[in-house]
Every structure is written in C-alpha cells, then in structure tokens.
Amino acid sequence: MTREGNGGIERRLKSLTLKTASPGLRERVLKGAAKHKKEAAWTTPLLRWSLAACAAILALIFITDTALSRRQQDRLQAFMDGAPRIEDRAADENRVLAEVLGEPVGRRLFAQNGRFAAEERGAGQARREELLKELLKEDFDGSESQKSSH
Amino acid sequence: MRPDELYDRYGEKMYHYLALRLGSAEDAEDVLQETFCRLARYSARWRLVRNPKAFVFKILRNEANRFLARRIKRREGDQAISDEARGLAAVIEAPADAGAGLIIRALGELPDEQREVIILKVFQDLSFKEIAAVFGLPVNTAASRYRYAIEKLRSAMEGKA
C-alpha cells in the first residue's frame, strides 16, 4: 500500500512540467564562460602553490650551494697559502705557553685557548676579531697582573 | 569536455535544478552563468573526473549554496529559504488539476535537504550513488532522505485530499 502510494507520488512529481529557460540563455552562458576563461589565470591554486614551493626550494639550493662553495674556496685558499689549521695553531701556542709559564698558569691558559679556538672555528670574521681583542685584553689586563703581584 | 558540449548535455537540467532550488528564473540564469564560468576554470581537471554528471551537479550545488548564503546575508534569517518554496510555482507550469497544485505546495514545505534530493532524483534523474556524491554523503543516507521526503509528500497529499 505504502509502496504503491510512494510510486504514485513519484509519478505525480514526474508529471509536473518545468518551464523552459528563456531563449538565448545557451548563447549568453557560453559567451560568458568563454570570456571568463580567456580572462582567467592559466594556473590553478594547487599549481600556484606547487610553483611557489619549487621556487623556494631552488632559492634554498642556490643559497646553500653558494655558501658551501665560498667556504670550500676559503679552505682551499688557506691550504694553498700554507696557513696552518686553527687546531694546529692552538696546539702549538699551548705547548709554548706551558713551557714558558709553567704548569698551573699554562693549564689555565691552555683551557682558555681551547675555548677560544673552538669559538674561532665556528665564528665569522667580525667575531674572530672580537675574540682576538678579548684574548689580548685578558692577556694584558691590569687586574691579572695585580692578582699575580699579590 | 567543451562548454557547448557540456551545455547540450546538462544545461537544461542544470537550469531546472537551479530554478527549483532558488525559486526564480532570473536567479537561476545568473547562477547558471556563474557555474559555467567556474566549470570553464576547471577545464583542465575534466580528464580526472570519473562521473561528469555528479561532478557538474556538485559544482552547481555549491554555486547555488553560495548564492543562497549571499541572499540570506542580504535579507533577514531564513526568509530566503522560505522564498524558494513560494517561488516553486513560478518555475513549474500551471498544474491542470488540484492534486498537482497540492503536491507543489507540499514540495515547497519540505526541508531544504529533502526537497533537494527530490529535485535531483525525480527531475534530474540522478541515481542515489550520484546524489550521494553530490552531497558528500553515504548512499544509504541519500536514499533515506528521499524516502522520508516521499513519505512526507504522501502524508501531506492524503491529509489534504
């Protein structure tokens, strides 16, 4: 009974006639769509994001490559000029300091120099100069000499 | 798919869906125009679409919802939705018998989601699978909405007959 009733409702609904669209709608719609397509951007949002991501990755690769090349070039230049490695230079200085100043002072300076060498390895030119000044300041500091005179 | 081919295949059905949902021939024409503009932008994706009919009606439904949201914003509250119901008579040819008039009125009084399923199933010949794809719902839910809507229409007809 219910199914027949439902079927009857469906038939009744299907029998309703819908009004047709106004004449010329097809042409208007297609003309508008063609115009819009012509003016619209050729990219989709996904494509735009992908292009932006690719550009960022390329820029990152370029920057990293430049930095690495420069570093490599500096190291090669240093090697060609015969400059000693920072570690070797620090070790030599420590040996000399230990010989000249004796064991307790030498050990302290040895530790200090080790710290400066470690910092110098990771530092830029400006920081190197700053470290050097700091080292010189500590070496010729009046308070150190006062301490030792006491 | 070319726009003219798309229009020849679905254009009339799309217009009827919009006219029934929006209750106004003018609004239906405007939204149809907007939908074709959107579809023209998606032309690159056509090769990926498995069910063109469901895809087209999904885009169309989204566009209609956007239009209704704008209309609600312009007017007060849910008045825009009730306008649809009143406008149904404007897009359906004048019924020959009183029963047809009653069913149009009952159709207009259905909840929006149920009326939409009726429009897609009865007037646009979409399968439940396609309706489910348009709504983004399980097939059973789409079928249940249709069944509830038909039941409501039947009881409305019986009550008033």
Domain boundaries, chain A: 51-83, 86-140
Q: Is B134 helix (H, G, I), strand (E, B) or coil?
A: helix
Evaluate the CA torsion angle B151, B156, B157, B161 in order and state its sign.
Answer: positive
Q: What is the pLDDT of residues B30-47, one digit of tens each?
A: 999 999 988 887 777 777
B10 reaches A (C-beta below 8 A) = no
3-state DSSP of A43-80: CCHHHHHHHHHHHHHHHHHHHHHHHHHHHHHHHHHHHH
Helix %, strand %, coil % of chain B (to 5):
85, 0, 15
Task: For residues A111-129, give the mean pLDDT.
Answer: 68
- Select the residue from A13, A28, A39 to test the B interface by mutation, using most B Cβ atoms within 10 A: A13
> Which of B25, B29, B122 lies at the smallest CB-CB distance from A14?
B122
Interface of B with A in 107-146 (CB under 8 A): 107, 118, 122-123
CA distance A128 to A97: 21
Q: How far does the CA of residue A6 sit from the closest CA of chain B (Å)?
A: 6
pLDDT bin (cut points 50, 70, 90) of residue A5 is: low
B20 to chain A: which residues are within 8 Å by CB? 18
B158 to chain A: which residues are within 8 Å by CB? 5
CA distance B89 to A85: 92
Task: For residues B133-158, give the mean pLDDT.
Answer: 90
Q: What is the per-residue pLDDT for A3? A: 46
ipTM surpassing 0.90, yes or no?
no
Contact check, Cβ <8 Å, B36/A29: yes
Interface of A with B in 8-27 (CB under 8 A): 8-10, 12-22, 25-26
CA distance B29 to B31: 6
pLDDT bin (cut points 50, 70, 90) of residue A107 is: low
Instruction: Determine the length of chain A.
Output: 150
Q: What is the per-residue pLDDT for A145? A: 46
Q: What is the pLDDT of residues B54-96, one digit of tens each?
A: 999 999 999 999 998 888 877 655 555 555 545 676 678 766 6
Contact check, Cβ <8 Å, A26/B118: no
Q: What is the reported pTM?
A: 0.59
